[in-house]
Amino acid sequence: MSMASVAVRRGIRVFASYGLATLATYVLAAVAATQWMLASLTEGSGGAAAPSALLATLQDLWGLLPSFGPIVALAMGIGLLVASGLTWFAPALRGVGLVAAGTVAMIGVQVALHQLPGFIPGARAGGAGATLAQGIAGGVGGYIYYLLRRT
């Protein structure tokens, strides 16, 4: 097998791993954002009914994609790229580094969105809990990237 073929296969694997990790992060982050928004809207009224909460979540998965999807993709791309570069010299720390990078990237997104009222409706809902949920979504994405890249 030629060196060019190996490089192409490796590149495809890196981009596929990034795509799957980013998709998982987006889905988790969008679901978390929807649930925080529903909780803040229905606070004190007993919560939203399960069917309407599920419908709202499914609608938000599609509806947030044009605005929130590219933000998640950019944040995860930068975070995972930086973490991959930094852990190149310490391979034993790669898993921790990628999880931390995803977490920090998504917390950064949440903090940045708090500064832009009206950009994404509801992005300001939830406070520290919503920020933590976004960070967990990013950490899961970083871990997925780590698992897909180590094999």
Q: pLDDT (tens digit, 9 = 90+) per residue, 53-92?
A: 788 888 888 988 998 999 999 999 999 999 999 998 899 9
Tokens at residue 25, please?
């992060």
- pTM for the structure as a whole: 0.86
Q: Which residues have CB under 8 Å from 52's CB, separation 6+?
A: none
Token pair 């679901």 is found at 31
93-122 tens-digit pLDDT? 999 999 999 999 999 998 888 887 666 555
118 or 138: which leads in pLDDT: 138
